[in-house]
Amino acid sequence: MSNIRLIARLDIKGPNLIKGIHLEGLRIIGLPNEYALKYYLQGADELIYMDCVASLYGRNKLSDIIMAAAKDIFIPMTVGGGIRSVDDATAALRVGADKIAVNTAAVANPKLISDIAQRFGNQCMVLSIEAKQVGKDRWEVYTDNGREHTGLDVIEWAKYGVSMGAGEILLTSVDNEGTRKGYDIPLVKAVSAAVDVPLIASGGMGRPEDLLAVVDADADGIAMADILHYNRVVISDIRTLAENEGLSVRYYEKT
């Protein structure tokens, strides 16, 4: 297994970094790239930019933000929200994205997954899944930032997405998102066991210790938002905890 990846997730609405609870009730935090640069310098292993309203309005304003970020930030960037076609993916890669996350459009048209994977490789195609619990060990796939239910079972959808060419899964628990109560461990465990591609857990990180259970559940990376945006911890706190607990993380020397 690789080092566990410590990933800063930036949810974007228009020009702003925002944060909600259960992906709703969005509050403006600040300018995305001020935070992105701060997290880069803190030693984030990766950044995820997610345009929260792009699917709703069918527009993607993220390009300018990504292009500006690529000037100073030299870690991988995943971009999602409003990617509906191979052309959208191409445009995002051209402005500096390394990976493309697709949720809503993949549910509407699963062939988009294989189209993007064939064109740019599986490693570029991240299947973003928004999951809501609907019963014991059962979760349903949601789209449009947790607003629309699909009737799809999360585990089955994850397997299908990987068979179509997704090279990574970004798994967001809508139930836990923004609540600070920790990741949805049974969900992470169930999806990770069902697929053989890396999995990034998202939603619920409230304190550094929440890392331990999710790594134990076989997540390969953790996405963090709230915990970082409100300065409750810095990334090095989490790295130090991981090191003390014997988890392997990227060695990062403060510059």
To the query of whether residue 177 is one of the catalytic residues in this protein, the response is no
The alpha carbons of the chain give a radius of gyration, in whole angstroms, of 16
Nearer to another protein, 40 or 142 (CB): 40
The pair of three-digit structure tokens given for residue 216, joined into one six-digit string = 């134990």
Letters for 2-41 (x = contact with another protein by CB under 8 A, - = none) are xx-x----------------------------------x-
Contacting residues for 156 by C-beta, under 8 A, at least 6 apart: none
Give the helix, strand, coil percentages of the chain, each rounded to 5: 35, 30, 35
Letters for 167-186 (x = contact with another protein by CB under 8 A, - = none) are xx------------------
Judged by CB under 8 A, the chain residues 69 through 128 that form the site for another protein are 70-72, 74-76, 93-99, 118-124
CB atoms under 10 Å from CB of 57, counted, come to 11
Instruction: Verify binding: residue 45, another protein, rule CB under 8 A.
Output: yes
Catalytic one among 45, 51, 98, 130? 130
DSSP reduced 3-state for 177 = coil
Dist. CA 31–CA 235, nearest whole Å: 19
To the query of whether residue 11 is one of the catalytic residues in this protein, the response is yes
Binding site for another protein (CB under 8 A): 1-3, 5, 40, 43, 45, 67, 70-72, 74-76, 93-99, 118-124, 167-168, 196-198, 220-221, 250-253, 255
